[in-house]
Amino acid sequence: MDLKFKKSSEDTRKIKSEIALGNNPLNIDSYIDYAEDKIKDTTNHDYAHIVSSGNAGIFIGLSYINGDVLIPDQGGWNGFKQISRFLNKPFETVKTNLGLIDIDELNNTLSNLDKSKVNGLILTSFAAYTAEQNIKEISEICHENDVILIEDVSGSIGDSKLANGKYSDIIVGSTGSPKILNVEDGGFITTNIKEVFDNNRILLKSFKSNEITAGGIISELKNASSNLNKYIDACNYLKNNIDNVVHADKRGINVFIKNDDPKHFSWNLRQELVLDSHGMVTKCPNYNRLKEKGVALEIKNLDISQLSKSNLDEIIEIVKKYQ
């Protein structure tokens, strides 16, 4: 089965190339200012910066934390650990139920923290890209314990419950490929806490974005919600028609299938699910997905044009053949 890897929309590619040529395709004074306004409208925060990558946003967000950094024990993003280490911030893992934060465990862990420091919990909106965190409840517990909640919304920007500044204190995201805002590079960070940026001028300068990426972000934001929902709907359909799926009842943008022999299962799937020169099969255990035997089918890596029912039915048949 030949599938196409996700591309920026044609509009986005045109806008980026016009800006690169020195034109002003959207008739805007500053693409960076406008992109920052649009991003903060989307996340319901007062302050926003677009930056050079998703990891740059994480660097800035974690720099604000001067106490402990808490991360999920699986289903997060490797950068959370690597950047905490680089910044010399002690980090601790929070127990999850296959990526989903265990609310009681969270309560226990947070209540034992040294409250004289600024502590932070950083997580992705979708655990392992496959199941949405209960962000409202997590936010309540963080706030009861004076812990800053940092949400990585690379996979969820455009949603109304996830990626919402009503719940998360700091929101970060990647606009690289193949993310929901698929601009090929860049990222963003938003918050209501002015000090996150005031204390971090040097990082903001070091990780600055550019007008071309800003133009791409403005363009991609227009379709973020509808694109996101198409990926979620496609995954729902797959989850309902494939056996041994983890978190089958939860919203997500990939599908995790348990399997005792992930080496062969993933090899077989890769022979059949050919995605240009890219991949859509992640062999697990893997911290960024789940520390379980199985594979993650990265539906989020497919171009939006590839999510037809006939394609999804073919994917289901291929999976069944090797399960």
Ligand X SMILES: Cc1ncc(COP(=O)(O)O)c(C=O)c1O
53 contributes a contact to ligand X by CB under 6 A: yes
C-alpha to C-alpha distance for 124 and 76, rounded to whole angstroms: 6
209 contributes a contact to ligand X by CB under 6 A: no
- Which region among 7-15, 52-60, 99-107, 252-260 touches ligand X (by CB under 6 A)? 52-60
Please choose, from the candidates 278, 272, 301, 197, the residue with its C-alpha nearest in 3D space to the C-alpha of residue 2.
272
- Among positions 274-293, residues that touch ligand X (CB under 6 A) are none
Classify 307 as helix, strand or coil: coil
42 contributes a contact to ligand X by CB under 6 A: no
207 contributes a contact to ligand X by CB under 6 A: no
Contact of 110 with 92, CB cutoff 8 Å = no
> Interior CA angle at 72 toward 144 and 117, to 5°?
45
152 contributes a contact to ligand X by CB under 6 A: yes
Nearer to ligand X, 70 or 268 (CB): 70
Q: How far is the CB of 52 from ligand X (least distance, A)?
A: 8
C-alpha to C-alpha distance for 149 and 65, rounded to whole angstroms: 10
- Which region among 16-24, 53-61, 134-142, 311-319 touches ligand X (by CB under 6 A)? 53-61
Q: Sign of dihedral through CA atoms 114, 116, 122, 125?
A: positive
54 contributes a contact to ligand X by CB under 6 A: yes
77 contributes a contact to ligand X by CB under 6 A: yes
Q: Are strands 170-174 and 187-191 parallel, antiparallel or unpaired?
A: antiparallel
Q: How far is the CB of 57 from ligand X (least distance, A)?
A: 8
178 contributes a contact to ligand X by CB under 6 A: no
Q: How far is the CB of 154 from ligand X (least distance, A)?
A: 4
79 contributes a contact to ligand X by CB under 6 A: yes
- Among positions 98-137, residues that touch ligand X (CB under 6 A) are 124
Q: How far is the CB of 157 from ligand X (least distance, A)?
A: 11
- Which region among 14-22, 50-58, 132-140, 211-219 touches ligand X (by CB under 6 A)? 50-58
Contact of 71 with 62, CB cutoff 8 Å = no
321 vs 218, 222, 243, 265, CA distance in Å?
A: 42, 39, 12, 10
159 contributes a contact to ligand X by CB under 6 A: no
Q: How far is the CB of 187 from ligand X (least distance, A)?
A: 5
Q: How many CA atoms lie within 13 A of 23 on its CB side?
A: 8
C-alpha to C-alpha distance for 200 and 26, rounded to whole angstroms: 31
Which residue ranges make up the site for ligand X (CB under 6 A)?
Answer: 53-55, 77, 79, 124, 152, 154, 174, 176, 187
